[in-house]
């Protein structure tokens, strides 16, 4: 009987889509392995998997309301001396701020900012005016191509998504491991520490730039 149940779980595991694992991780902030395990248990149903995570005490949305009044300031200076980053990452407790995982994340993130040159932390930080300006540029670029309006809007939607990936820190692939975004790395750190970890602000300096 136990062997049969194990075989059934293995069959379900083979049907779990990575897209659904990512959706569950974005929804809950839980690490990828916990999300996949929950989806297997819920037979691929995202809502049921969310409930499974909550029952196990892994759902992290409750931490979002907790004040993140601790953290650390990380400084990165490129060996050339021409690029530097000042970064603040906050969390709930001083214990977490001084942990090896937290310090490693902050160091890696500061280095990433120096290399990837994000302009914002999250997509929500892009103003409506700037977003509309970007869309207008894309529309101008598509003029004269005789494409149906629905196709034009779909292309613009794709370019906006690319714009977020290029300019918003959380949406960027991590320079040391492009298979993971900063958002995914942050979700994993939240899962490991059980804390509300927030990228608060950053400033990137480069010689010759305003």
* Closest of 26, 66, 22 to residue 195, by C-alpha: 66
Radius of gyration of the chain (CA): 21
Average pLDDT value for residue range 10-37 = 75
Q: Assign 5 a pLDDT band (cuts: 50, 70, 90).
A: very low
Angstrom distance (rounded) from CA 46 to CA 32: 13
* Closest of 202, 128, 209, 126 to residue 163, by C-alpha: 126
pLDDT at 62 > cutoff 80: no
User: Which residues are registered as beta bridge partners of 84?
Assistant: 77, 205
**Architecture label for domain 64-121+168-206:** 2-Layer Sandwich (3.30)
Strand ranges, E, within the chain: 70-77, 83-91, 173-174, 177-181, 198-206
Query: Which pLDDT score, from 0 to 100, does residue 63 have?
Result: 43
| 11 vs 132, higher pLDDT | 132
* Closest of 167, 185, 204 to residue 32, by C-alpha: 185
Listed by start position, the domains of the chain span: 2-59, 64-121+168-206, 127-167
Average pLDDT value for residue range 121-128 = 89
* Closest of 66, 63, 32, 73 to residue 49, by C-alpha: 32
Query: Which pLDDT score, from 0 to 100, does residue 180 have?
Result: 92
Query: Which pLDDT score, from 0 to 100, does residue 139 have?
Result: 83
Query: Which pLDDT score, from 0 to 100, does residue 141 have?
Result: 84
Q: 2-59 has which fold?
A: Helicase, Ruva Protein; domain 3 (1.10.8)
**Architecture label for domain 127-167:** Orthogonal Bundle (1.10)
Query: Which pLDDT score, from 0 to 100, does residue 57 have?
Result: 57
| 102-111, 113-122, 128-137: the lowest-pLDDT one | 128-137
């Amino acid at each position: 009987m136990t062997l049969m149940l194990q075989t059934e779980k293995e069959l379900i595991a083979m049907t779990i889509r990575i897209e659904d694992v990512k959706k569950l991780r974005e929804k809950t902030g839980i690490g990828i392995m916990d999300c996949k395990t929950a989806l297997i248990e819920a037979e691929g149903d995202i809502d049921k998997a969310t409930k499974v995570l909550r029952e196990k005490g892994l759902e992290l949305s409750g931490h979002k309301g907790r004040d993140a009044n601790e953290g650390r300031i990380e400084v990165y200076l490129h060996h050339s001396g021409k690029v530097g980053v000042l970064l603040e990452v906050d969390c709930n407790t001083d214990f977490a701020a001084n942990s090896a995982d937290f310090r490693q994340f902050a160091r890696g993130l500061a280095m990433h900012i120096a290399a990837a040159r994000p302009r914002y932390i999250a997509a929500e930080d892009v103003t409506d005016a700037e977003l509309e300006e970007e869309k207008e540029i894309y529309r101008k670029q598509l003029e004269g191509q005789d494409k149906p309006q629905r196709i034009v809007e779909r292309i613009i939607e794709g370019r906006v998504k690319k714009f977020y990936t290029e300019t918003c820190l959380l949406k960027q692939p991590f320079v040391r491991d492009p298979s993971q975004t900063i958002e995914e790395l942050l979700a994993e750190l939240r899962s490991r520490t059980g804390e509300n970890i927030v990228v608060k602000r950053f400033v990137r300096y480069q010689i010759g730039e305003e």
